Amino acid sequence: MTPRTKWRRRIVWALAILLPLILILTLFFSAAGVIRSVAEASLRADAASSMHEAIEATLSDGLGYSDLVTVHKNSAGDITALTADAQRINAIARDAAYLSQTNFMRRAEEGVEVPLGAFTGIEALSGFGPPVTFKLLPVGAAHCDFRSEFTSAGINQTRHAVYLDIVLSITVVLPAGTSEFEERAQVMLCESVLQGKVPDFLLHSDLFGSVS
């Protein structure tokens, strides 16, 4: 066997090894973005369902305006202050955050189904083909905030609404790399129409700033 023949054989063997490897890597990186989008969309849906389930469970006993806010008036009947029940608010926020995180982790353990077409890297085909299940280890951290909203409801009438905002921050390691994103949910807990003039300092203050 001549040296030239040996070199030709080495080149053939090298190409036989490198070409499939290059093809696999090309398909992986071209499909990575599509896989990441499909997986993130699935996890966002899980997060949204988890937060709404947590809200329903936390507020299942019903909640009235007077359970969270106390309206203080002077002898003339004018509103002088609004105070929030810090203990009740903190309990609601703690329970809603815990249940949101627990529900999400339970759903995430089932994995994410990615259609086989996503591995082509072509978005038009990403929804076709049998599903391939990815087992993930996501980390979800929930945070709750309360906020007030004052709007005019007529002459000497002010509508006061109390909202609960939940933010679920998610970090997950995918075959396409690490992905970090947030999903939010908002629900109005209660509302009341306040009779009489509400002082400006109340309309522009954060009633729940110290207890959220």
The 10 Å Cβ neighbour count of residue 163 is 16
Beta bridge partners of residue 86, listed in sequence order: none
Establish if 208 belongs to a structural domain: no
Establish if 210 belongs to a structural domain: no
Establish if 209 belongs to a structural domain: no
> Model pTM?
0.71
- Domains in the chain: how many in total? 1
pLDDT tens readout for residues 35-86: 777 778 888 999 999 999 999 898 877 788 888 889 888 888 788 888 888 8
Establish if 19 belongs to a structural domain: yes
Task: Give CA separation, 186 vs 23, 51, 52, 162, in Å.
Answer: 46, 9, 9, 11
Q: Are 45 and 171 in contact (CB under 8 A)?
A: no
pLDDT tens readout for residues 146-175: 888 888 887 888 899 999 999 999 988 776
**Structural domain containing residue 98:** 3-203
